[in-house]
Amino acid sequence: MNREPFCIPPKWWDPKLKPSWVRLSRRYRRHQLFRKQQLVEVVSQNTEVLQQAVAAGHGVLITPNHSAHYDGPALYTAADRIDLPLYFMIAWQVFAMASRFECWAMQHLGCFSIDREGTDRRAFKRAVHTLQHEAHPLVIFPEGDIYHTTDYVTSFREGAAAIALTATRRADRPVVVIPCGIKFWYLDDPTIELRRALRRIEGRLHLRSIEELPLAERIHRLAEAALALKELDYLGHTRSGLLRQRVSYLLQAVLAQLEERHQLSDCAGSPPERVKAVRQCVIRKLEQQQEHALANGQLSQLQCDMEDLFFAVQLYSYRGDYLVDEPSVERLAETVDKFEEDILGLEYPNVRGRRRVAVRFGQPIELDGSRRQRGATAELTCLMQTRVQALVNELNDQSPKR
């Protein structure tokens, strides 16, 4: 996973969507997809669903899965086919780490920032306003982070559903949620490049490269080695058992240590929600008590806690069973991608051959703004996740055979 700054955002980046800029930049954006990601084909499916909702004057929220760095540009390319500009809610860190021109370009493509670690009322209100009044759809990735598991949708956070339901209660027009599945395939066999990458990663962990082993076994061996090092680091000993069980145990142990240290006794929910709660506490202490922390050594501990939180999210991104039962070359490549980011520290994984991506839109979910939000938000979040997973499954059924 990519490292990002976590603190109070330096500013808020508002959307300045200009359809003329969207059209003017199409060729450049498509070229960038090819140059940086070797995406030679973008297939869009069921776009008529999106067209009909927009033509009917509805407020439209698109909720795609988020398994790769290029999901957003690929989705925008699919929308270009029907001449439809989009709004995107993205993490403020993307803007903070971009150049001035890149920020300008993103804003004119409809992007605006959100602080995912806090209560970003300005971003929330802007998203609600977009669904209530704007002519163009809003895109939110409910998974939040990029997990590199294109076949499985990771648990959705409830923010997207809360925005949709809030907009519905106050809107003068219907608001609908359109699930979206995004899936990529390799057109070129990446096996040689994967073996080359594995040699580099094995060298980093001082493991011998056993070339005759099947790729899945080599990757599993790497995962075992990396996990054992972290178990020694956090638990003081290694554990036995299935990889998935060991990953889950270590994740719970790391989160429990952090919650106890920061006296968060009532933490509940999914690991990303627990990470968010602890991170909010750490950020608050870093921002408000930095001088005091410097005096008594607490600053170093808070910085270590931020590293532990990043590690917890990394752990959560590994399913532990992603390579069982004759995994596809895409699953193998995604796992190596994760190793390159997490072990080698690359900002982006290497590209290993030409690829194609399919973007499939599902049937709209019509919203009822009269229901009580607490139960409705959780229910809608679950429904969105189920619908997106179904779309990914449909795309998997279309997987090209080599």
Residue range 15-35, pLDDT digits in tens: 999 999 999 999 999 999 999
Map residue 274 onto helix, strand or coil.
helix
Q: How far is CA 76 from CA 30, 85, 87, 368, 402, in A?
A: 10, 8, 10, 28, 28
In this predicted structure, what is the pLDDT of residue 286? 82
209 pLDDT higher than 90: yes
Q: Backbone dihedral region of 46: left (phi > 0), alpha (psi from -120 to 50 degrees) or beta?
A: left
In this predicted structure, what is the pLDDT of residue 9? 81
H-helix segments, 236-355? 243-261, 271-288, 290-296, 298-316, 329-342
Task: Please answer whether residues 271 and 291 qualify as being in contact, where contact means their C-beta atoms are separated by less than 8 angstroms.
Answer: no
Residue range 234-266, pLDDT digits in tens: 999 999 999 999 999 999 999 999 999 998 877
Threshold 0.85, pTM exceeds: yes
292 pLDDT higher than 80: no
In this predicted structure, what is the pLDDT of residue 194? 96
290 pLDDT higher than 70: no
316 pLDDT higher than 60: yes
More confident residue, 271 or 360: 360
What are the structural domains, with CATH classification, of the chain? 19-187+353-397 (3.40.1130.10), 191-342 (no CATH)
- pLDDT class for 326, splitting at 50, 70, 90? confident
50 pLDDT higher than 80: yes
What number of CA atoms fall less than 13 Å from residue 364's CA on the CB side? 21
219 pLDDT higher than 80: yes
295 pLDDT higher than 70: no
What's the CA dihedral at 224, 206, 301, 144 to 10 degrees?
Answer: -50
> Nearest Cα to 3, choosing from 112, 104, 73, 96?
96
